């Protein structure tokens, strides 16, 4: 069948069974050669990998143990982001070679957290084997040791993959047929995405407000966004609150997911200012991937450069009127030290990406604002 109907959506042929099995043969041969003598244990992730795992392990020619585990699932056409506990694993993994067998890796969030849970069981090594990989959607650093096929960012069903529980039984893989073309991706490409960068006290918030007023940009302040998600009780907000309540840092992938939801909610607009994000190189990489998945990228990174003694003076003065507990000399020194260690290296990262713009943040606000506008209008 060249097309199928699964619930309310139409899907067209993407990969035939013969094409799939040709790649399964290749992966099985690699596994058999690489893991000879290691007595591996294959952890097949349910529900999606059952068909791939069955065909794959029939072709693996070395002694091995096979177990089935369950971790997370899909709902509708996108990942739910709700993570379940790892269940079904009763064997000890200590000192073992573990191979995770998955049907599809896209954002990588689920796989990353699964690896973290398995690492706590002290295996000798963990390898990842996936039937399909969407490199354009990968948002976390993952080493995929074995991959049958890399595919574009299309929603697919068949060969174990489902749409709300249906479609897993088809021997071929089908991709969704879009009935209408959405112009939102085209509009996103026209938008300006501005990273406003600078140490605490450099004036990012003030300049953001002026840019929003002049250019009609949208403004994403990570602190405000996070507080709104928690206040509104969204699923991502509840997850973030759990980390905060336990005194843990919010994982980068969760923060990017929250920002992505806010970004998508803007629809068509002139541009977006990212204020307070990214703070580290991994966050910058995750932001780049998130924007790339939407057909766009960071347009410019604006670095408001202010000498440290001036930053100290500004923040101490702010503390006299703001009532913020963190605006005291000892805390300010710690915040600036963290900035210099973790955030400052982003300058070089954006220089290499051709997006870096230095702005002298010392002087009157009008001059600084005009300098920023000159960059955006060049």
70 is catalytic: no
Structure tokens, 185: 């991706």
Exposure of 200 by Cβ count < 10 A (0-12 exposed, 13-18 middle, 19+ buried)?
A: buried
DSSP per-residue letters across 105-149: ESS-HHHHHHHHHHHTT--SEEEEEEEEE-TTT--S----SEEEE
Task: Give the C-alpha distances (Å, rounded to integers) separating 305 from 9, 81, 192, 199, 308.
Answer: 52, 38, 22, 8, 9
Question: Which among 204, 268, 294, 347 is annotated as catalytic?
Answer: 204
324 is catalytic: yes
In whole angstroms, what separates CA 2 from the centre of its chain? 33
Question: Which among 26, 294, 318, 347 is annotated as catalytic?
Answer: 318
Positive or negative: CA dihedral 261, 137, 285, 248:
positive
9 is catalytic: no
Question: Which among 84, 189, 324, 334 is annotated as catalytic?
Answer: 324
| 138 vs 10: CA distance, rounded Å | 26
Beta strand pairing status for 300-305 and 65-70? Answer: unpaired
Instruction: Tell me if 70 sits within 8 A of 53, measured CB to CB.
Output: no
Question: Which among 26, 59, 70, 335 is annotated as catalytic?
Answer: 335
Instruction: Tell me if 11 sits within 8 A of 167, measured CB to CB.
Output: yes
Helix or strand run (H / E) with residue 189 = helix 184-190
Question: Which among 279, 288, 294, 347 is annotated as catalytic?
Answer: 279
189 is catalytic: no
Structure tokens, 268: 């068509």
Structure tokens, 206: 């003030």
Catalytic residues: 204, 279, 318, 324, 335
């Amino acid at each position: 069948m060249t097309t199928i109907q699964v619930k309310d959506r139409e899907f067209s042929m993407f990969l035939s069974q013969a094409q799939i099995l040709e790649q399964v043969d290749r992966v099985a041969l690699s596994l058999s050669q690489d893991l000879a003598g290691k007595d591996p244990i294959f952890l097949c992730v349910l529900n999606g990998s059952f068909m791939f795992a069955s065909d794959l392990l029939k072709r693996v020619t070395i002694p091995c143990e096979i177990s089935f585990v369950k971790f997370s699932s899909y709902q509708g056409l996108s990942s739910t982001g709700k993570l379940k506990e790892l269940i079904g694993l009763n064997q000890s993994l200590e000192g073992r070679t573990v191979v995770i067998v998955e049907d599809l890796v896209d954002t990588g969030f689920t796989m990353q957290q699964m690896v973290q849970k398995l690492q706590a069981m002290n295996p000798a090594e963990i390898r990842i084997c996936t039937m399909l990989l969407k490199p354009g959607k990968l948002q976390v650093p993952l080493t995929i040791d074995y991959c049958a096929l890399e595919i574009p960012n299309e929603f697919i069903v068949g060969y174990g993959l489902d749409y709300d529980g249906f479609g897993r039984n088809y021997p071929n893989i089908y991709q969704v047929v879009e009935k209408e073309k959405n112009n939102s991706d085209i509009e996103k490409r026209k938008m300006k995405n501005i990273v406003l960068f600078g140490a605490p006290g450099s004036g990012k918030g003030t300049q953001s407000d002026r840019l929003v007023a002049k250019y009609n940009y949208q403004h994403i302040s990570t602190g405000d966004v996070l507080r709104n998600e928690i206040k509104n009780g969204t699923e991502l907000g509840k997850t973030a609150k759990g980390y905060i309540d336990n005194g843990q840092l919010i994982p980068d992938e969760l923060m990017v997911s929250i920002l992505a939801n806010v970004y998508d909610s803007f629809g068509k607009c002139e541009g977006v200012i990212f204020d307070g994000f990214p703070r580290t190189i991994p966050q910058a990489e995750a932001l780049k991937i998130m924007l790339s998945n939407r057909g766009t990228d960071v347009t410019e990174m604006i670095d408001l450069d202010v000498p440290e003694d001036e930053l100290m003076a500004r923040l101490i003065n702010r503390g006299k009127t703001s009532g913020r507990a963190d605006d005291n000399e000892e805390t300010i020194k710690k915040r600036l030290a963290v900035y210099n260690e973790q955030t400052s290296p982003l300058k070089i990262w954006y220089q290499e990406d051709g997006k870096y713009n230095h702005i002298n943040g010392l002087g009157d606000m009008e001059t600084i604002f005009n300098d920023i506008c000159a960059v955006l209008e060049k």
